[in-house]
């Protein structure tokens, strides 16, 4: 069963953190961003195009969310679950696990996505801001969840000025009771 959820906006470093946690613990993970990107590719769409589809066909989002929510409650499921809403679901299901939110500004996320995928900063910033805004509205409509509400999280890390190693040290320390 899930021991830790990792959440944050696209480009906040959640996938990097999951990889570091896996290396340190040997735990299995399920990454919602990878599930999202794989489904976009399966449909022949870019992530931005797929995000647009999710805005108009809410059943697509629901089916991906159900897959992730089911995984977190399976006895033999992954110990690490990364998705924007995994902390919310763990909170709602009263799962005894560490629920982490990685906070980053729109500008920092745009810089990280630009470093990973290339492109112009202004374009990446516009995409990041638009996606975050659309996702906030969609999650409010789908589940009445406010992504700005940090109530479900028992650890919020402001990662704007931290390296991936520093974020990992904070989260790994929290897992170990430090």
Q: What is the CATH number of the domain that holds 114?
A: 3.40.50.300
141 dihedral zone (left: phi>0; alpha: psi -120 to 50; beta)? alpha
- Residue 148 is assigned to a structural domain of this protein: yes
For the segment 144-162, the average pLDDT, to the nearest whole number, is: 96
- Any bridge partners for residue 8, and if so which? 102
Indicate the pTM of the whole model. Answer: 0.88
Please tell me the predicted confidence (pLDDT) of residue 32: 86
| Domain coverage including residue 55 | 4-163
- Residue 81 is assigned to a structural domain of this protein: yes
List pLDDT tens digits, range 46-82. Answer: 987 887 888 788 888 888 888 888 889 898 999 999 9
CA distances to 99, 148, 175 from 152, in Å: 7, 11, 17
- Residue 89 is assigned to a structural domain of this protein: yes
């Amino acid at each position: 069963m899930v021991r830790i959820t990792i959440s944050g906006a696209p480009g906040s470093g959640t996938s990097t953190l999951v990889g570091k946690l896996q290396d340190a613990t040997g735990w299995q993970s399920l990454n919602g961003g990878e599930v999202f990107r794989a489904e976009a590719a399966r449909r022949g769409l870019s992530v931005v195009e797929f995000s647009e589809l999710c805005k108009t066909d809410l059943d697509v989002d629901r089916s991906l969310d159900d897959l992730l929510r089911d995984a977190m409650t399976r006895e033999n499921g992954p110990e690490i679950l990364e998705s924007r809403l995994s902390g919310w679901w763990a909170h709602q299901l009263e799962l005894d696990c560490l629920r982490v939110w990685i906070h980053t500004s729109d500008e920092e996320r745009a810089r990280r996505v630009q470093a990973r995928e290339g492109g112009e900063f202004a374009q990446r910033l516009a995409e990041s801001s638009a996606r975050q805004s659309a996702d906030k509205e969609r999650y409010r409509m789908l589940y009445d969840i406010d992504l700005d509400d940090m109530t479900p999280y028992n650890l919020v890390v402001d990662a704007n000025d931290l390296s991936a190693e520093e974020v990992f040290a904070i989260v790994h320390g929290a897992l170990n009771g430090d």
